[in-house]
Structure 1
Amino acid sequence: MAAAGAEEQQVLAQRLKAAVHYTVGCLCQEVEEDKDVQFSKQTIAAISEITFRQCEIFAKDLEMFARHAKRTTVTTEDVKLLARRSNSLAKVRNSLSLPQGAESPNINTGITGSLYSLLC
């Protein structure tokens, strides 16, 4: 029974990796057309892998921020904490800030398990 759950997690992770790879490929194609440069398949694969690993780290950090606050729901406040690590993310965060009194969208990690487990 546990093996089936682990296998399902592995299938989900592979599908997610494939989606990231496809998206990175599309973005690289757009850059190729705009900037008249070429990306090798190895470069696209490397960018995809780095992106996926960074998302794993982000998901784990967001889950830990929520858990530290004794919540099972990741909030925009957790995302803002995460964005503080990077100057470029902080700029984006500040430009996307919700107006005072606006309701924050939440991601409940308790329903489908942890965000991190979905990425691993």
Structure 2
Amino acid sequence: MSVRRRFTTASGAVLLTLAVAGCSGLGRTTVGPIAYVTERDVAVSVTSPSVNGCHRLAPSGATKVANESLTDIVLYQTRNCEGKESTYLPINTSEAIVPGHLPWRSYSVVH
């Protein structure tokens, strides 16, 4: 194999690696479901939501949440993933609200 051909092959491999690495953050998801029960006892499951942004739960809020995804999440009592009252929910765990407390209304993904 000529030196020029090896250089071209190596350069192509490097460019391909950089291109894949540069695009790897696009469209990333949690990989797995996040399931919850609303205040009205309706079971909801969201499969592989995006790792970006704030995700709203049902309008009535969630009283129980099971994080069966491959990433940790943070639950909030507000609709915009803000506020002092938040709950950290690691992978493969579940949590329920304490009676008399507000339901969770949104979550964000820890990444």
Q: Larger Rg: 1 or 2?
A: 2
Which structure exhibits the higher relative contact order, with contacts defined as CA atoms closer than 8 Å and separated by 6 or more residues?
A: 1
Higher helix proportion (structure 1 or 2): 1
TM-score of the superposed pair, with normalisation by structure 1: 0.25
Higher strand proportion (structure 1 or 2): 2
TM-score of the superposed pair, with normalisation by structure 2: 0.26
